C-alpha cells in the first residue's frame, strides 16, 4: 500500500499484484480518514464502489440527491462538475468496468442507470451486504482484490454479452482515443446508422457521439494532469483549437483546463491504476 498526498488530502492506495482475469476490469483500494469534498471527473467506464470500512463514502450532486455506501454509476459520472464524494474513515475497493463488460457483470445494462448513482443494494439486493461483510473479514488488500475479481468474473461469465458489432465500435473509439469518425462506424460494421446508435446506447449506456467526446476528454484531461500545456493537448487530442478544448473541459467538469490539471480524482490514477486503463 502506498500513500497519495495532494494538498491536504492523504489517502492510502493499493493496487492488485496481478491483472484481472476479465479484460476491461481494473481495481484499486483506498483508505482515507477524511475524504472530500472530492470533485468527480467523468471517466469512460462504469464505476463500482465496494465499501467495507467503519465509515461510509457519500456521493452527492448539486440537486441534493445523495447516495451512501456501496454504489454503481454509469460512464461519465460527474459530467458538468456537479458531483462530489466525501466521508470519514472510508475503506473501499473501486472497480472500473469497461461498458462492454458492464452489462454482464452488473446484470443490467449501464443504460438502465440513466446517468444516476445507484445503491448497489438496490441493484444486487442482499448480495451487496454479503460482499461488504466478506471484504471486511479478509485480512489483506491482495486477498480483497482476489475475492472481488473471482466474484465479478463469475458474474461476467454468467451474464449477457453485448453484440460483437457494438464491442468492435467501442474498441475503435477507445483505441483511437476518441478520434474515430462517428459517421463511419456504422458502415464499418455493416449496420445502418440507426441500428448501431440504438444498440450502442441500449447496451453501453451512451450513444456513439457522446462516447467519442468522453473518451477524447479523458485522454486530454490526463495529459493536462501530466503537465502538458493546453495548446499542445488540444493539438494532440484532435480538438479544433485550444478554445474547443476549453469548452469541452468546461462541459465535462464545470472548471477550466488549469483547474482540471490539479484535480485529485485524476492525479491519483497513475498510482492507483498504473498502466491499466479499461478499454476492452
Going from N- to C-terminal start, the domains of the chain cover 2-161, 164-264
Q: How far is CA 48 from CA 38, 74, 120, 124, 249, in A?
A: 17, 9, 8, 12, 24
Write the pLDDT tens digit of every residue in 171-211: 999 999 999 998 899 999 999 999 999 999 999 999 999 99
Span 60-68, mean pLDDT? 83
Fold for the domain defined by 164-264 = Arc Repressor Mutant, subunit A (1.10.10)
Write the pLDDT tens digit of every residue in 229-261: 999 999 999 999 999 999 999 999 999 999 999
Q: What is the pLDDT of residue 277?
A: 45
Span 214-230, mean pLDDT? 96
Write the pLDDT tens digit of every residue in 203-212: 999 999 999 9
* 7 pLDDT tier (thresholds 50, 70, 90): confident
Report whether pLDDT(115) > 80: no
Has domain 2-161 been given CATH number 2.60.120.10?
Answer: yes
Span 106-129, mean pLDDT? 92
Q: What is the pLDDT of residue 182?
A: 86
Concatenated DSSP letters of 43-73: -SSEEEEEE-SSS--EEEETTS-EEESSEEE
* 113 pLDDT tier (thresholds 50, 70, 90): confident
Q: Can you state the percent helix, strand and coil of the chain, rounding each to 5? A: 45, 20, 35
Amino acid at each position: 500500500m502506498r500513500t497519495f498526498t495532494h494538498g491536504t488530502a492523504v489517502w492510502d492506495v493499493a493496487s492488485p499484484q496481478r491483472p484481472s482475469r476479465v479484460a476491461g476490469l481494473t481495481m484499486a483500494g483506498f483508505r482515507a480518514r477524511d475524504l472530500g469534498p472530492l470533485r468527480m471527473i467523468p471517466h469512460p467506464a462504469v464505476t463500482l464502489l465496494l465499501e467495507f470500512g467503519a465509515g461510509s463514502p457519500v456521493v452527492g450532486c448539486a440537486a441534493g440527491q445523495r447516495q451512501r455506501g456501496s454504489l454503481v454509476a454509469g460512464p461519465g459520472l460527474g459530467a458538468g462538475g456537479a458531483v462530489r464524494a466525501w466521508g470519514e474513515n472510508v475503506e473501499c475497493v473501486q472497480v472500473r468496468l469497461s461498458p462492454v463488460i458492464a452489462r454482464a457483470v452488473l446484470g443490467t445494462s449501464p443504460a438502465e442507470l440513466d446517468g444516476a448513482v445507484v445503491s448497489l443494494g438496490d441493484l444486487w439486493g442482499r448480495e451487496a451486504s454479503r460482499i461488504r461483510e466478506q471484504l471486511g473479514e479478509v485480512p489483506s488488500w491482495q486477498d480483497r482484490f482476489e475475492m472481488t475479481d473471482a466474484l465479478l468474473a463469475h458474474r461476467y461469465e454468467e451474464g449477457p454479452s453485448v453484440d460483437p458489432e457494438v464491442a468492435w465500435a467501442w474498441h475503435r473509439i477507445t483505441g483511437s482515443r476518441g478520434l474515430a469518425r462517428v459517421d463511419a462506424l456504422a458502415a464499418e460494421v455493416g449496420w445502418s446508422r440507426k441500428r448501431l446508435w440504438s444498440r450502442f446506447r441500449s447496451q453501453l449506456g451512451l450513444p456513439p457521439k457522446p462516447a467519442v467526446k468522453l473518451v477524447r476528454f479523458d485522454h486530454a484531461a490526463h495529459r493536462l494532469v501530466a503537465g502538458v500545456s493546453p495548446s499542445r493537448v488540444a493539438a494532440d487530442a484532435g480538438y479544433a483549437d485550444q478554445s474547443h478544448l476549453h469548452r469541452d473541459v468546461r462541459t465535462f467538469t464545470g472548471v477550466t483546463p488549469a483547474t482540471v490539471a490539479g484535480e485529485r480524482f485524476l492525479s491519483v490514477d497513475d498510482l492507483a491504476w498504473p498502466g491499466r486503463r479499461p478499454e476492452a
